Amino acid sequence: MATFDLLLLPGDGIGTEVMAEVKRIVTWLNARGTVTFNLEEDLVGGAAYDVHGVAVADATVDKALKADAVILGAVGGPKWDGVPYEARPESGLLRLRKDLELFANLRPAICYPALADGSSLKREVVEGLDIMIVRELTGGTYFGEPKEMVTLQNGEKRAVDTQIYTTHEIERITRIAFDLARKRSNKVHSADKRNVMISGVLWNEVVTAVHSAEYSDVELHHILADNCAMQLVRWPKQFDVIVTDNLFGDILSDEASMLTGSLGMLPSASLGAEDDNGKRRAMYEPVHGTAPDIAGQSKANPIAMITSFAMALRYSFDLGGEADIIEKAIAKVLDQGLRTGDIMQEGCQEVSTTAMGDAILSEMDAVAG
Ligand code: IPM
Ligand code: MG
């Protein structure tokens, strides 16, 4: 029987609550006897800062490098507003992405039929929506140097972030997007700001070159990132795969999440390069944050966390059948009208995080037979 090591990093706020539901799903899968997951748990974000004075300890990064996959909840919160910039909770997440070289972030925005009326957009705009945002994750403004705040001679301050991309960084994320498109509707939109940024000019050139050399069978559109933001709410179904840089990808994926009903619905997979055995380093995390306003009250929607784990089953462990069971169970629970607060609709029943987990597990029993 296949055995895999998972490192769970629940993080802060609702991160720990939604991770608890993933643990129950792992227990369910282990009990089924077709695969064994060994779980190890550790701290990241503010939780790590409180204990170690850093947002992720070196030993935790080592464990992450050795694990078959990392499952992460969320990091951050007002409690750590005053900590030094280098030690802020988000820096733990960024270090993990960088040290594990997880350059490709896949953020699928799928609108479950039962939630089509729950979106702030009209049903016909979002019904049947299935788009994939491919966000570059280890370059660009997030990591470019210099990144600093200095005091000028006149006493004024000046802050600098740097947007940097090299050819190979753009090539590898572009290939991920085209490969995915071939398995989907064969269409890629590449979003940049070449009208104001020289890094956007390079982005555009490299995507075009990779397309004509290796992927001319895929339909390619270049779109300015601001126009992409607008088109996402005007008529999102024109998109299949959107490939973009780290910062635009952060923003566009939050926007896309609302097409699915709630930020609490959007999972993500962060993948590294393939090694000689065809394996990729990987970390799976929901797109949402720690939601300090509802933390500790069992109000959080665990679905993005659970579907992030389903992405792990699919992308890291080739367990597509198990992922199907989870996703079908979620669709059924939503059909039955069970809702956490973020996706609550008239005529539905509002349930807690754990009750949502209970319902999904019991539907998994039914789906698996
Ligand atoms: C995300 C988050 C992170 C990001 C934060 C928490 C650093 O917003 O994963 O989208 O900006 O990448
Ligand atoms: Mg974000």
Read off the tokens for 270.
């962060």
SS3 78: helix
Q: In angstroms, rounded to a whole number, what is the distance separating the alpha carbons of residues 80 and 157?
A: 23
Ligand 1 pocket, residue 133 CB under 6 Å = no
Specify whether the CB–CB gap between 258 and 343 falls below 8 A.
Answer: no
CATH 3.30.70.270 at 130-259, yes or no: no
R_g over Cα of the chain: 20
Q: Whose CA is nearest to atom 5 of ligand 1?
A: 90
Measured from the Cα of 105, ligand 1's closest atom is 9
Q: Does domain 1-109+263-369 have CATH number 3.40.50.970?
A: no
3-state secondary structure of 254: helix
Decide if 66 is catalytic.
Answer: no
User: What angle do helix axes 14-32 and 353-368 make, rounded to 10 degrees?
Assistant: 20
Return the SS3 of 223. Answer: strand
Give the nearest ligand 1 atom to 250 CA.
10
pLDDT tens-place string over residues 181-200: 999 999 999 999 999 999 99
358 is catalytic: no
Q: Is 93 in the pocket of ligand 1 (CB under 6 A)?
A: yes
For tokens 């299935």, the residue is: 130
Q: Give the number of the atom of ligand 1 that is nearest the alpha carbon of residue 93.
A: 7
Counting from 1 in the atom list of ligand 1, the atom nearest the Cα of 90 is 7
Per-residue model confidence as pLDDT tens digits over 290-345: 999 999 999 999 999 999 999 999 999 999 999 999 999 999 999 999 999 999 99
CB of 287 within 6 A of ligand 1: the answer is yes
**Distance in Å, CA 246 to ligand 1 centroid:** 10
Q: Does the beta carbon of 250 lie inside 6 Å of ligand 1?
A: yes
Query: Is the link from the previous residue into 146 a cis peptide, with omega within 30 of 0?
Result: yes
Count of CA atoms in the C-beta half-sphere (13 A) of 130: 10
What is the per-residue pLDDT for 1? 84
Is the pLDDT at 120 greater than 90? The verdict is no
Instruction: Based on the residue annotation, tell me whether 193 is a catalytic residue of this protein.
Output: yes
- Topology alike, domains 1-109+263-369 and 130-259: yes
| Residue to probe by mutation, ligand 1, list 85, 90, 137, 287, most atoms within 8 Å of CB | 90
Please give the biggest Cα pair distance in the chain. 72
Strands (E), 250-340: 269-274, 280-284, 338-339
Ligand 2 centroid, distance to 107 Cα (angstroms): 11
pLDDT of res. 278: 86
Q: How many CB atoms within 10 Å of residue 208?
A: 14
Ligand 1 atom closest to residue 94's alpha carbon, by position in its atom list? 7
Extended beta strands in 96-218, E state:
104-110, 130-136, 144-151, 157-162, 187-192
Domain boundaries, the chain: 1-109+263-369, 130-259
CA atoms of 23 and 35, how far apart (whole Å): 15
* Active-site residue, selected from the candidate residues 250, 299, 315, 332: 250
CA angle 96–141–129, rounded 5-degree value: 80
**How many Å apart are CA 245 and CA 151, to the nearest integer?**
30
Distance in Å, CA 270 to ligand 2 centroid: 13
The arithmetic mean of pLDDT across residues 60-75, rounded, is 98
DSSP states of 255-267 as a string?
A: HHHGGGT-GGG--
**Containing H/E element for 242?**
strand 241-244
pLDDT digits (tens, 9 = 90+) for 221-280: 999 999 999 999 999 999 999 999 999 999 999 999 989 988 999 999 999 999 998 889
Name the residue with the closest Cα to ligand 1, atom 11.
250
Mean pLDDT calculated for residue range 118-130: 93
* pLDDT score at 369: 87
Whether residue 136 has its Cβ less than 6 Å from ligand 1: no
How do residues 125-171 score in pLDDT, each as one tens digit? 999 999 999 999 999 999 999 999 999 999 999 999 999 999 999 99
How far does the centroid of ligand 1 lie from the alpha carbon of residue 103, in Å? 14
Catalytic residue among 12, 42, 49, 193: 193
